[in-house]
Structure formats: C-alpha cells, structure tokens
A = this chain, B = another copy of it.
Amino acid sequence: MKKKSIINDTPVCQIRMQAISDSMSILSGKWKFHIIGTLIEGNKLGFMDLLREVDGIGTKMLSKELQDLEMNQLIKRKVMNTKPITVQYSITEYGATLAPLIDELANWGVKYRKSVHG
C-alpha cells in the first residue's frame, strides 16, 4: 500500500491549496502587484502615466499585463472622447480587495530587509 498525503489531504487544505494556486495564477508575473498598487494609490491613470509610474516596465509588458488584469476584472479600461485619444485605467472595486494582500506583501518585505541588515 502506497503511503498517502496526511496533512494536506483534508477538504479544507485541498480548497486552501487550490485557492493559493488560483491567486498566484491571476497575480503571476513581475509587474501585476506594482500596477495594481499604483492604480490603488492614484485612481485614473493613462497608459503613459503608468509607464512612468511603474519603474522599469516597457510598453509591451505594460500592455499585456493591463489586458490580463482587465480580463480578470481587477482594473477598468475606459477610452475617453478626447483628441488625441486618451485612455483611463482605474482599479475596480474587486481589484481594490487586493489592498490588504499587497500591504501584507510590502510589510513582510520591509521586515525582511530589516532582519537581513540588522
């Protein structure tokens, strides 16, 4: 008889593990937290605004990540009737629920830095 998982074999753990995988697949990549964090801080930003705010990102990645986030309804994209055309990106209510998670991530990172130096 082959040994089986014990700890993670309960329904609760199965759901938790699945949930973690879900979150990670939606929030994967180098830039999503930075983009979401920026849009939570400054609501309604254009493409070029984001390009300036998110330090180091290029047009291709920004474009792709914004599409991903919009598809998952974490951000909204609104084309304005201006000349020249402008676009307003903003966080959705749903996307804003990520604020505590981003805070945790930032706080943990800050503590890590301190513990490494001190």
Question: A42-85: which residues lie under 8 A (CB-CB) from chain B?
Answer: 42, 45, 52-55
Partner of A109, one of B13, B20, B42, B54: B20
Question: A80-115: which residues lie under 8 A (CB-CB) from chain B?
Answer: 94, 97-98, 100-102, 104-113, 115
Chain A at the B interface: mostly helix, strand, loop or mixed? helix
Cβ-defined contact, B100 with A19, below 8 A: no
| Contact A19:B110 (CB < 8 A) given known A41-B8, A105-B24 | yes
Question: A1-28: which residues lie under 8 A (CB-CB) from chain B?
Answer: 3-8, 13, 15-24, 26
Cβ-defined contact, B5 with A20, below 8 A: no
Report how many residues on chain A are interfacial, defined by Cβ distance under 8 Å. 47
In whole angstroms, how far apart are the Cα atoms of A23 and B33 in the complex? Answer: 11
Given contacts A7-B41, A8-B41, 8 further A-B pairs with CB under 8 A are A5-B52, A8-B38, A8-B55, A20-B106, A21-B109, A22-B109, A22-B113, A23-B106
Interface residues of A (CB under 8 A from B): 3-8, 13, 15-24, 26, 30, 33-34, 37-38, 41-42, 45, 52-55, 94, 97-98, 100-102, 104-113, 115
